[in-house]
Amino acid sequence: MKNFQLKWFRRVGLVEGLSLITLLFIAMPLKYMFGIDQAVSIVGMAHGVLFLLYMSFVFLVTLTVRWSLKWFLGASVVAIIPFGNFVFDAKLKNADFAQPESVVEKV
């Protein structure tokens, strides 16, 4: 279950990161350089929905995987930094969250 949620969290994080980059480096220049206001409206709405989905996954994964405060804050902060989700994803890929379940030994 943990691996399934982490896999989807990583996917949503990458899509959310792409939407932030699209908003900042494509839609905003189209608006302010060429006067195409619709670019920010459309991409901004998509990014907002993806951001809310991403933050929902942050809370879900934090509770499921039992992330420390450091991981929770890191996942939250990188969502507002361009290219931050990609760096966080690389660290997340290398992290090992496989915690053994409590084993009851038979005596």
Q: What is the pLDDT of residues 49-85, one digit of tens each?
A: 999 999 999 999 999 989 999 999 999 999 999 999 9
CB 52 within 8 A of CB 87: no
Tokens of 80: 């507002």
- Asked if residue 101 has pLDDT above 50, the reply is no
d(CA 52, CA 58): 10
Name, in order, each residue with C-beta under 8 angstroms of 1's C-beta and a sequence gap of 6 or more: 64
By CB atoms closer than 10 A (0-12, 13-18, 19+), residue 13 is buried
33-44 pLDDT tens trace:
999 999 999 999
Reported pTM: 0.84
